[in-house]
Structure 1
Amino acid sequence: AEEAKAYMEKIHAIATTIGVTDGDMEKGHLRCDANVSLRPVGQEEFGTRTETKNLNSFRFVQQAVVYEIGRQREEILDGKQIVQETRLWDTGRKVTFSMRSKEEADEYRYFPDPDLPLVHLAPELIETFRKNLPELPDAKRQRFMEEHGLSEYDAEVLSADRRMSEYFEKVLTYGAAPKLACNWIIGDLTRVMNESGKSLKEIDLSPEHLAALTKIIDSGEISSKIAKTVFEEMLASARTPEEIIEEKGLKQVSDSGELGRIVDELLAANPEQVEQYRAGKTKVIGFFVGQMMKQTQGKGNPAVINSLLKEKLDG
């Protein structure tokens, strides 16, 4: 079942990459008829086959195959005969059910159509087609790993979706760090698409604006937590991250003098926790970090805060 799902995902990735389909499964651009037959270990001939028709999602392919394997196994163990038939997948009950019997049907046979002439594809023509193909998903995945240092998983997710991989590369042209850009695309941006039911093309977030956000995060100007707030506002208003940060006063506080003053006040107000830390209960530093973030309304630079706390608590 896992192999069937992976196979369908690979076909989908290749077909959408070369532009022969948009690959919208809900619109029926790609469907799967899953054939399943079982045979006991050691038996040479194949078992009776069932066909589950018109599966329109990778998840349904996997679920239907898992169910059908289990159903046929139980039938065989109970001494029953598997009926050769066409079945359908019930997405609500997560079971297959019989659509029509093919018990008397012969295996499909194909015959030449006299009205259709033979088409001869010369090796030179095939090579021309091959050279004109766009970069295929496997090659793109490998390049993303080698050129941009992405993990195999991240590179696989990006390369499997033509629009997403193109968007990723456009973000990089504006100077974004590859790993950070990838995290935002396959993380928060994908979450928004799933929740809204919108495609990447329908979401109003330019590659330039996302790149700008990643560079601001990289510079330490805002925290990752604040960045999520900025990101949501970018989606809602189509404004630049710089405009949003300026308007809402979200810039991260990194001034060690200002943060040091707040740390001193915090330690003075919590002598019991200070003693606990100095007695070896170092995890209490999490309490102080939390209080600092509360005092700075989430704008304090966590790295600077941690450094100041350790310096003053250990001093």
Structure 2
Amino acid sequence: MSSYEPVIGLEVHCQLNTKTKIFSSDPYSFGQPANTLAGPVTLGLPGALPVLNKEVLRLAVTAGLALNCEITRITKFDRKHYYYPDLPKGYQISQYDRPYATNGLVTFKKKEGNKEQSETTKVRIHRIHMEEDAGKLLHSGSGADSVSFVDLNRAGVPLIEIVTEPDLRSSDDAWWFLQTLRGIIRATQISEANMEEGSLRCDANVSVRKGPNAPFGTRVEIKNLNSFKAVKAAIDYEIERQISVIESGGKIIQSTVLWDADKRETRLMRTKEDAEDYRYFPDPDLTVFEIKPDFVEDIRNNMPELPDQKKDRFIQSLGLPEYDADVLSRDFDISQYFETVATLSGDPKKSSNWVKDEVLGIINKNDLSITDFPITAERLSKIIALLNEAKITQRIAKQVFEHIYEENLDPEEIIEKYNYKPVDSSQLPTIIDDIIQKHPQQVQDILNGKDRVKGFLVGQVMKATRGQGVPDEINRILDEKLAALQK
């Protein structure tokens, strides 16, 4: 089995952040009542003519530059014909032989735990093209009672389709590529890139071959991949399925399959399909047009900071370790959250540790978004400030953090409610004297040079103060008392 090498290419559809659709003034926002955002152009009514939304072109070129593509100077739109209820015109306006961007590159380093692999994975971008989205079919019932409803709100929404070369060799590669791509897209703010809402969708082309130098095998396209977990699971399943078919003497048939997340398997949608099946031809209602160099340069000169650039800044300006900087720069919203905490608290390193370990720990465990996280950047910065002012201990800080998450209160309110206040320093000498008297053997070990035993005594003091003793004060007083015993 291991002698086979998977070959994977991705087609990623990204919905652009515009107020109106790609070829009409119809508005669009997610979650509106069905068929309330569909005007004459969207419905394909006779005489309704498309006009390209200039903002779509600006966002599309931004994506192309962010992905290191060459921008095509002369480009055009084409009609892609197929018949489906969610496509009122009977064709989709897309780009066929003159995509607006080509020859891009995305690089990333995969990570295992807290370790980053030294080898950089390079994925070439074959092309990016603009197109309109289709509507949505909603199915209800089963058998004779089944019925399908058509919602055309999404029809005509602007998309870019990012097509990679078949450079990926595992589901892990695909997962990391998509994470990297989403980070770049969100950094440019051209799209929410949210798989759950459908603003980022992925199809995977999968084949296997006998070793890295063998010819490519017959590919199978997997659709209906609406989460990162689905992408990984579907690719793994399809790789194993193809190897099993070949090993049993069968042949892989070029086809399109759907991923069934409930059954965790693919099922056949249609067999071999090529470009000629779509009967592409230039759209006569949309003229060939030029993407002028000065338009492109203006966008290039105003590009936002991309994740790799942000990572370098976090390392050089804030002094973060490379791993921390990478984790915190990967997602736009998380990087914004971290920078706000760091600015308000004045402590980038502590901010990094809290966001990386505590905040992302809860977010990843509960599948949350940082924008919905109840511990705001302002609240977290207060916790860090209280820590730095020795008004709370590290242990109390974590308890305050947990209570804020559960109760949605400010740090000061939590501290007051649960009486989370450090033990008065004047009480510590008495407590430490008591600990020293209770543990004479450990004290003698320390006096004999076994310094590591001191941690035990510090722990006993922390236990006696219920975690409310300030560690620096405890260590200072304990050192003074141990030094006095040595005289």
TM-score (norm 2): 0.57
Separation (CA, whole Å) in 1 of partners of 2:206 and 2:307: 28
Separation (CA, whole Å) in 1 of partners of 2:208 and 2:174: 15
Give the aligned partner of residue 135 of structure 1. Answer: 305
Give the aligned partner of residue 176 of structure 1. Answer: 346
By relative contact order (CA 8 Å, sep 6+), the higher-ranking structure is 2
User: Shift of residue 101 of structure 1?
Assistant: 3.8
Give the aligned partner of residue 460 of structure 2. Answer: 291
1:196-254 CA deviation, whole Å, 9 max, x = no partner? 55433333444333212112212333221100122233345554434543554323337
Separation (CA, whole Å) in 2 of partners of 1:260 and 1:115: 86
Give the aligned partner of residue 49 of structure 1. Answer: 219
Q: Match of 1:102, as an amino acid?
A: T
User: Shift of residue 124 of structure 1?
Assistant: 0.5
| Residue pairs, 1:23-102, within 5 angstroms | 23-41=193-211, 45-92=215-262, 94=264, 96-102=265-271
Q: Does 1:253 align with 2:436?
A: no
Give the aligned partner of residue 150 of structure 1. Answer: 320
User: Shift of residue 100 of structure 1?
Assistant: 2.2
Separation (CA, whole Å) in 2 of partners of 1:8 and 1:42: 23
Give the aligned partner of residue 193 of structure 1. Answer: 363
Give the aligned partner of residue 112 of structure 1. Answer: 282
Q: Does 1:217 align with 2:387?
A: yes
Distance 1:244 1:65, change over 3 A: same
Separation (CA, whole Å) in 2 of partners of 1:169 and 1:287: 37
RMSD: 2.9
| Residue pairs, 1:260-275, within 5 angstroms | 260-274=429-443
Runs of 4+, deviation exceeding 6 Å: 279-282
Distance 1:212 1:36, change over 3 A: same
User: Shift of residue 258 of structure 1?
Assistant: 2.7
Q: Match of 1:57, as an amino acid?
A: S
User: Shift of residue 8 of structure 1?
Assistant: 1.1
Distance 1:97 1:196, change over 3 A: closer
Q: Match of 1:304, as an amino acid?
A: E
Separation (CA, whole Å) in 1 of partners of 2:464 and 2:214: 73
- Which 5+ residue runs of structure 1 have no aligned equivalent? none
Give the aligned partner of residue 301 of structure 1. Answer: 470
- The answer to whether the Cα contact below 8 Å between 2:260 and 2:267 also exists between their aligned partners in 1 is no
TM-score (norm 1): 0.84
Structure having the larger proportion of residues in helix? 1
Distance 1:36 1:198, change over 3 A: closer
- The answer to whether the Cα contact below 8 Å between 1:76 and 1:82 also exists between their aligned partners in 2 is yes
1:264 aligned counterpart, secondary structure: helix
Kindly tell me the number of residue pairs found equivalent between the two proteins: 312
Question: More displaced, 271-280 or 203-212?
Answer: 271-280
Separation (CA, whole Å) in 2 of partners of 1:32 and 1:152: 30
Separation (CA, whole Å) in 2 of partners of 1:113 and 1:45: 36
Distance 1:43 1:264, change over 3 A: closer
User: Shift of residue 37 of structure 1?
Assistant: 1.2
Distance 1:111 1:304, change over 3 A: same
Separation (CA, whole Å) in 2 of partners of 1:178 and 1:271: 42
User: Shift of residue 127 of structure 1?
Assistant: 0.9
1:79-101 CA deviation, whole Å, 9 max, x = no partner? 3211222223343554x322224
Question: More displaced, 259-268 or 36-45?
Answer: 36-45
Separation (CA, whole Å) in 2 of partners of 1:229 and 1:252: 13
Structure having the larger proportion of residues in strand? 2
Q: Match of 1:289, as an amino acid?
A: V
How many percent of aligned residue pairs carry the same amino acid? 40
Separation (CA, whole Å) in 2 of partners of 1:198 and 1:208: 19
